[in-house]
């Protein structure tokens, strides 16, 4: 570039204009702020393309790396005065322009126009006039025309070349704008400015330099010894959308480690103006950061088992309630017209049970058929019941699952009092032992079945051979009963291969509350808020990063905890789906309307069973003596019948139009003469009163 000239679109520091040669201040390389194009007041909004404004009058060519893309990423676009995002004019990091060199243009003449240029233009005009006249007088009009053609041809060619280049630049700009708009469309709107800050070289260099993780480009030295030192900072090599925002992979500089970024997570969050930054891993040369624009653990996530309208009413009730009493009244009203999204018996043990969203934006699940035993720990009002309601509600709706509940405090059993297969809701340790003995008897029966099935583990479950889900709530209430502890240890060690899953819930999973051997078999671990860090380390010894947060109510509110499940082996923070107990009562009523009840409600006198052993080993009548709450109530029509016969319940559809539950019709009884002996029903599937 000739001395005294400057590149269009690039400015010169005002201080250099009147300084003697050699004393000019060095100009900082890089783009200058874009020209503003004002829009008159009341003017219509510019037309949009791809969700972004692109006023035609605000465009100008972009200058950047070859192809306008770094590592497969589109050229960033700057937000202009009219709201338009335009590709940023970027200075290649390894190629400083002449404007940054104090010995280049601007050093001589301070950027002023060369006074010889106007004289040259006048001389060219005078020469053309002189030679044109000479050709005219010598050869006439044809000579003048020939002279003009010779002179005009290179001029026209030059103008045409410039116009073609300008058109190509405009087309390239339009393509970059379309590419950038399509790139932004894959991310949340809150991330658009974040992406610009990470991709724009000058903005990114300043941001990382402010955190001592990079440096901006600058000139070093002066005069002929001046050399350009390019900007160095962690470059984006990959970025992809994520459920919580975006995951970005950065190329670390020499000497950097993930700890440098871990210590500056707060600064990165502030610089990018996002909700949070989380370390997602590293590969030695790169580091992965999760840029969170929203926290999935903030607010309630509703259970998918009930309809959206009911969920909306539940959310409104929770927000409107001022105390627990109002909460109960409002939630009852909100759940009065609850509709299930799946019918009774519409689920199977092979279906995943949704537990709640994790901090990474995924959804934690439990699969009764595939997963192992589960341990749940948490202090009072930490959300243990809210968590277990999701599992119990889904298990109760499964056609091939039977639920056994031991709940001495009545925290989780009330909605399922009439529908649970076996139930102990007292603090009497002997009653709890009898329920565990019933589970052991089922294990012994299935042990013989393994020989017939020619296998070492039951993996196929049906109505005739259902999976048993045994839930032991507040196991510490029975810690003084040695027989209970021995049975619990045996079930935890042996029940899995017989198709029996165990869930143990306690405030502390210490050895005095749960046998150490039993706790070792509980591979699934869920920890809600605790009071002692030692209790947390006992459950999650390999995740010390959550040891402090698990003690704070502000960091671990009700329903929030740490989970290590087969679907997510590494411990992760999560929030349980919100399924209130009022909704569980309605779901329990729907189940009873379809299947009938297993036992009467408390206060109603239970009727005695007919004498004689039961022929169906899979029913809730077992060879052991069960507590009163586990005694099933026979129907009235059974009292006057022979003891060896029971009525067959009529088959009715579960749901009518609009997913309305069809009540169980107890008046349509078959004729007694048509009853069948129990011995003949062994090969029949379990009748649930469904079509």
Q: CA angle, 361 as apex, 360 and 362 as ends, to 5°?
A: 95
584's tokens? 């569980």
Distance of CA 444 to the CA centre of its chain: 43
- Answer for the pair 470, 502: CB distance below 8 angstroms, yes or no: yes
Torsion over CA: 71, 73, 78, 79 (sign) = negative
Packed helices 201-210 and 192-199: angle between N→C axes, nearest 10 degrees: 90
380 is in an annotated binding site: yes
Q: What DSSP element (H or E) covers 440?
A: helix 429-453
643 is in an annotated binding site: no
117 φ/ψ angles, rounded to the nearest 5 degrees: -65, -50
Q: How far is Cα 333 from Cα 226, in angstroms, rounded to an integer?
A: 78
According to DSSP, the β-strands at 500-506 and 374-377 are parallel
- Distance (Å) of CA 519 to CA 308, 377, 493, 511: 38, 11, 10, 8
523 is in an annotated binding site: no
Per-residue 3-state assignment (H helix, E strand, C coil) for 4-41: CCCCCCCCCCHHHCCCCCCCCCCCCCCCCCCCCCCCCC
Q: What DSSP element (H or E) covers 78?
A: strand 77-79
- Distance (Å) of CA 257 to CA 246, 290, 544: 21, 17, 21
115's tokens? 């006074």
- Answer for the pair 661, 590: CB distance below 8 angstroms, yes or no: yes
The strand ranges marked E within 222-344 are 227-229, 235-242, 245-251, 276-282, 286-292
385 is in an annotated binding site: yes
283's tokens? 């590969």
508's tokens? 């502390």
Q: How far is Cα 677 from Cα 616, in angstroms, rounded to an integer?
A: 12
269 is in an annotated binding site: no
DSSP H helical segments within 248-404, as ranges?
258-263, 265-272, 308-320, 324-334, 384-396
479 is in an annotated binding site: no
- Answer for the pair 467, 406: CB distance below 8 angstroms, yes or no: no
Which residues face 522 on adjacent strands? none
As a whole number of Å, the end-to-end CA separation of the chain is 88
Provide CB contacts within 8 A for 91, sequence distance 6+.
29, 30, 31, 97, 201, 202, 217
204 is in an annotated binding site: no
- Answer for the pair 340, 303: CB distance below 8 angstroms, yes or no: no
218 is in an annotated binding site: no
Q: How far is Cα 117 from Cα 122, in angstroms, rounded to an integer?
A: 9
Q: Which residue numbers belong to the known binding site for ATP?
A: 378-385
Q: Which residue numbers belong to the known binding site?
A: 378-385
């Amino acid at each position: 570039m000739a001395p005294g000239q400057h590149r269009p679109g690039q400015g010169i520091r005002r201080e250099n204009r009147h300084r003697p040669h050699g004393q000019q201040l060095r100009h900082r390389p890089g783009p200058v702020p874009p020209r503003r194009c004002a829009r008159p007041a009341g003017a219509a909004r510019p037309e949009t393309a791809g969700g972004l404004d692109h006023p035609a009058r605000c465009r100008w060519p972009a200058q950047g790396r070859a192809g306008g893309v770094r590592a497969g990423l589109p050229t960033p676009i700057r937000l202009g005065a009219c709201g338009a995002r335009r590709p940023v004019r970027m200075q290649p990091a390894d190629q400083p322009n002449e404007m940054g060199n104090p010995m280049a243009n601007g050093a001589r003449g301070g950027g002023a126009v060369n006074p010889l240029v106007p004289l040259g233009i006048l001389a060219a005009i005078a020469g053309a006039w002189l030679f044109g006249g000479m050709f005219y007088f010598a050869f006439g009009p044809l000579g003048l025309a020939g002279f003009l053609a010779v002179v005009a041809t290179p001029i026209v060619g030059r103008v045409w070349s410039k116009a073609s280049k300008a058109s190509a630049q405009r087309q390239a700009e339009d393509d970059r704008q379309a590419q950038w708009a399509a790139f932004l469309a894959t991310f949340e709107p809150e991330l658009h400015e974040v992406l610009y800050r990470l991709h724009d070289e000058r903005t990114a260099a300043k941001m990382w330099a402010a955190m001592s993780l990079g440096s901006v480009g600058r000139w070093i030295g002066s005069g002929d010894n001046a050399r350009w030192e390019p900007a160095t900072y962690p470059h984006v090599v990959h970025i992809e959308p994520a459920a919580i925002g975006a995951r970005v992979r950065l190329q670390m500089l020499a000497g950097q480690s993930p700890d440098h970024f871990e210590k500056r997570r707060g600064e990165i969050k502030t610089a990018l103006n996002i909700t949070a930054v989380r370390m997602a891993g590293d590969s030695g040369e790169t580091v992965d950061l999760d840029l969170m624009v929203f926290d999935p653990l903030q607010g309630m996530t509703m259970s998918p088992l009930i309809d959206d309208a009911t969920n909306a009413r539940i959310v409104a009730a929770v927000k409107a309630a001022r105390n627990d009493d109002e909460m109960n009244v409002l939630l009852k009203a909100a759940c009065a017209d609850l509709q299930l999204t799946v019918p009774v018996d519409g689920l199977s043990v092979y279906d995943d049970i949704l537990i709640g969203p994790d901090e990474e934006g995924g959804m934690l699940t439990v699969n009764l058929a595939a997963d192992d035993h589960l341990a749940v720990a948490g202090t009072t009002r930490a959300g243990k019941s809210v968590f277990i309601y999701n599992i119990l509600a889904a298990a109760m709706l499964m056609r091939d699952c039977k639920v056994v509940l031991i709940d001495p405090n009545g925290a989780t059993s009330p909605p399922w009092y009439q529908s649970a297969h076996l139930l102990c809701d007292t603090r009497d340790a002997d009653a709890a032992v009898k329920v565990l003995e019933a589970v052991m008897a089922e294990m012994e029966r299935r042990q013989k079945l393994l020989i017939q099935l020619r296998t070492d583990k039951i993996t196929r479950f049906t109505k005739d051979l259902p999976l048993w889900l045994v839930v032991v709530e507040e196991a510490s209430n029975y810690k003084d009963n040695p027989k209970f502890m021995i049975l619990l240890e045996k079930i935890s060690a042996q029940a899995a291969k017989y198709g029996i899953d165990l869930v143990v819930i306690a405030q502390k999973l210490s050895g005095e509350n749960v046998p150490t051997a039993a706790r070792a078999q509980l591979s699934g671990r869920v920890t809600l808020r605790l009071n002692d860090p030692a209790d947390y380390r006992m459950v999650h010894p390999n995740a010390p990063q959550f040891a402090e947060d698990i003690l704070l109510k502000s960091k671990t509110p009700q329903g929030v905890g740490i989970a290590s499940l087969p679907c997510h082996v590494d411990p992760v923070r999560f929030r349980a789906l919100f399924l209130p107990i009022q909704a569980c009562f309605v779901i329990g009523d729907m189940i009873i309307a379809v299947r009938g009840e297993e036992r009467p409600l408390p206060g109603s006198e239970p009727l005695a069973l007919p004498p004689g052993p039961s022929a169906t080993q899979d029913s809730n009548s077992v060879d052991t003596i069960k507590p009163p709450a586990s005694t099933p109530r026979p129907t009235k029509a059974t009292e006057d019948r022979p003891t060896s016969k029971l009525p067959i319940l009529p088959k009715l559809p579960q749901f009518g139009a609009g997913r309305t539950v069809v009540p169980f019709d107890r008046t349509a009884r078959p004729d007694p003469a048509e009853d069948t002996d129990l011995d003949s029903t062994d090969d029949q599937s379990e009748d649930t009163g469904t079509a």
